[in-house]
């Protein structure tokens, strides 16, 4: 029973904090409540589960909790109330959900990443087909039927099936990987397209460095399948109205030259504006003062412009300064370092999570990290350290050449990590 409660909590951390699990309704009142309660419950959880954390997370738990306490004290001192703006406090604390997820995952029993992949596809079938949203899509940014945060989920199945193909060379996995990437492109969130491409580069780079056991890729077979699919897709694309395809192509072109793109140029301008304010309070940011100032980029021709800072890095620097940025980058970089250094060979699931967490750094250039991104960071740490099927081999003196293990499966399993 307790295990199932932890599994429900893990589901909430990975999916319940995004609109994908609420029919794609980003304005669903339950979504805000779940996000707020998740952050609120996570604060005491850092104390209660402190001794379950690995060394890095124990180290980070102190400044994260101290930051929350200082924000509460600042609110009490400057505004005469304990929580002048929960918005400011929870957004600082969101990254700590990585620590909470690690603790929850360690109590949830045996986990398999493929279950998350199936769930993501199921959500898309319901949101886009069953609810009929996709039928209102006209291949333009104005008619998109998913948010960038929802689309980012697709990077997980894309990397999952890409890694599966690299390890097993099954054409089914190649087809599913191409389908997932094609769906990402079709949904027209350019930041997600760039994120997925970077994730693929990370996966291939680790494979080339010998950190995973892959058989030699059948390049001819791969190119032949892609070529056939391109030939089949060509005539189908030609059936679409030319004006729509031109608009679709222009939107994709904005990836390479954001300054010449409508929304891209606006984001560049927005980032430049807030970065000019950053040097005034570089260490701890603007916090409540920035919240009070509200929108500082009003434009009579575009009154909605800049209502939220899009870039994760600009947002953190402006609101929480270099200290806030250092905490978040240390959490991400430390998790990736543990995954990389504690495992001589990364398994498929570890590699997928490594690629997803690393690719999120590209997504953060254009968008703030979704809350669930931090949950996947914690899940990546769990897979790197505690997952029973993915423990590191014992580190000992090299075995004689004749008796050295030839694959990860040949290493002895251990019950505890050093």
Q: What is the pLDDT of residues 317-354, one digit of tens each?
A: 999 999 999 999 999 999 999 999 888 888 999 999 99
Contact between residue 364 and residue 198 where contact means Cβ atoms under 8 Å apart: no
Half-sphere exposure of 293 (CA within 13 A, CB side): 14
Better pLDDT: 390 or 261: 261
113-139 tens-digit pLDDT: 999 999 999 999 999 999 888 888 877
Q: Tell me what the mean pLDDT of segment 38-46 comes to.
A: 94
Q: How far from chain centre, in Å, is Cα 61?
A: 21
Contact between residue 346 and residue 339 where contact means Cβ atoms under 8 Å apart: yes
Q: Tell me what the mean pLDDT of segment 382-399 comes to.
A: 55
Q: What pLDDT is stored for residue 395 in this prediction?
A: 36
Q: What pLDDT is stored for residue 260 in this prediction?
A: 54
Better pLDDT: 20 or 239: 20
Q: What pLDDT is stored for residue 124 in this prediction?
A: 94
**pLDDT-based confidence at residue 404 (cuts at 50, 70, 90):** very low
Q: What pLDDT is stored for residue 79 in this prediction?
A: 92
Better pLDDT: 400 or 192: 192
Q: What pLDDT is stored for residue 292 in this prediction?
A: 84
Q: What pLDDT is stored for residue 405 in this prediction?
A: 42
Q: What pLDDT is stored for residue 416 in this prediction?
A: 37
Q: What pLDDT is stored for residue 302 in this prediction?
A: 53
Q: What is the pTM of this model?
A: 0.86
Q: What pLDDT is stored for residue 403 in this prediction?
A: 42
Please report how the helices 86-93 and 55-79 are oriented relative to each other, as an axis angle in degrees rounded to 10: 170
310-320 tens-digit pLDDT: 899 999 999 99
Q: Give the whole-angstrom CA distance, residue 405 versus residue 100.
A: 36
348-389 tens-digit pLDDT: 999 999 999 999 999 999 999 999 999 999 999 999 987 654
Angle at 99 between CA 67 and CA 74, to 5 degrees: 10
Q: Tell me what the mean pLDDT of segment 24-29 comes to.
A: 86
Q: Tell me what the mean pLDDT of segment 150-169 comes to.
A: 94
Q: What percent of the chain has a predicted confidence (pLDDT) above 90? A: 56
Instruction: Give 31-38 contacts, CB < 8 A, sequence gap 24+.
Output: 35/90, 35/371, 36/86, 36/90, 38/12, 38/13, 38/97, 38/371
Q: What pLDDT is stored for residue 406 in this prediction?
A: 39
Angle at 352 between CA 349 and CA 354, to 5 degrees: 110
**pLDDT-based confidence at residue 237 (cuts at 50, 70, 90):** low
Q: What pLDDT is stored for residue 115 in this prediction?
A: 94
**pLDDT-based confidence at residue 218 (cuts at 50, 70, 90):** confident
Q: What pLDDT is stored for residue 26 in this prediction?
A: 84
Q: Tell me what the mean pLDDT of segment 223-242 comes to.
A: 69
Mean pLDDT of the chain: 84
Residues 6+ apart with CB under 8 A from 158: 177, 180, 181, 184, 196, 199, 200
292-310 tens-digit pLDDT: 887 676 655 555 554 578 8
Q: Which of 23-32, 157-166, 214-223 has the lowest mean pLDDT?
A: 214-223
Better pLDDT: 90 or 109: 90
- Paired tokens of 398: 């090299």
Better pLDDT: 229 or 185: 185
160-169 tens-digit pLDDT: 999 999 888 8
| Per-residue pLDDT at 49 exceeds 70 | yes
Q: What pLDDT is stored for residue 18 in this prediction?
A: 95
DSSP for 26-47, written as a single string: TT-HHHHHHHHHHHHHHHHHHH
Q: What pLDDT is stored for residue 55 in this prediction?
A: 94
- Paired tokens of 319: 């609101």
**pLDDT-based confidence at residue 71 (cuts at 50, 70, 90):** very high
| Per-residue pLDDT at 412 exceeds 70 | no
């Amino acid at each position: 029973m307790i295990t199932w409660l932890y599994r429900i909590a893990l589901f909430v951390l990975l999916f319940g904090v995004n609109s994908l699990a609420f029919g794609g309704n980003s304005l669903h009142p339950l979504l805000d409540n779940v996000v707020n309660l998740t952050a609120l419950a996570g604060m005491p959880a850092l104390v209660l589960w402190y001794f379950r954390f690995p060394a890095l997370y124990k180290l980070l738990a102190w400044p994260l909790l101290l930051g929350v306490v200082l924000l509460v004290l600042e609110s009490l001192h400057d505004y005469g109330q304990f929580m002048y703006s929960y918005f400011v406090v929870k957004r600082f604390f969101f990254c700590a959900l990585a620590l909470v997820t690690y603790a929850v995952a360690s109590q949830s029993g045996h986990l398999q990443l493929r279950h998350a992949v199936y769930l993501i596809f199921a959500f898309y079938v319901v949101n886009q087909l069953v609810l009929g949203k996709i039928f209102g899509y006209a291949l333009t940014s104005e008619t998109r039927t998913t948010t960038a945060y929802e689309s980012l989920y697709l990077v997980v199945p894309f990397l999952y099936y890409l890694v599966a193909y690299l390890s097993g060379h099954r054409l089914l996995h190649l087809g599913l990987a191409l389908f997932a990437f094609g769906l990402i492109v079709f949904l027209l969130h350019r930041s997600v397209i760039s994120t997925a491409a970077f994730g693929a580069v990370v996966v291939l780079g680790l494979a080339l460095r010998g950190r995973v056991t892959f058989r030699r890729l059948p390049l001819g077979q791969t190119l032949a399948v892609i070529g056939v699919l391109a030939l089949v897709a060509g005539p189908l694309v030609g059936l679409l109205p030319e004006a729509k395809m031109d608009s679709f192509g222009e939107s994709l072109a904005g990836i390479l030259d954001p300054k010449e793109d409508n929304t891209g140029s606006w984001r560049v301008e927005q980032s430049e504006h807030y970065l000019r304010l950053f040097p005034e309070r570089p260490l701890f940011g603007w916090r409540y003062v920035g919240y009070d100032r509200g929108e500082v980029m009003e434009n009579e021709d575009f009154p909605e412009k800049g209502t939220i800072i899009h870039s994760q890095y600009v947002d953190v620097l402006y609101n929480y300064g270099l200290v806030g940025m250092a905490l978040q980058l240390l959490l991400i970089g430390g998790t990736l370092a543990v995954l990389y250094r504690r495992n001589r060979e990364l398994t498929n699931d570890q590699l997928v999570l490594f690629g997803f967490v690393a690719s999120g750094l590209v997504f953060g250039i254009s968008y703030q990290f979704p809350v669930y991104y931090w949950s996947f960071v914690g899940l990546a740490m769990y897979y790197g350290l505690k997952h029973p099927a993915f423990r590191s081999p014992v580190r000992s003196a090299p075995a004689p050449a004749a008796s050295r293990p030839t694959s990860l499966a040949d290493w002895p399993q251990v019950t505890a990590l050093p």
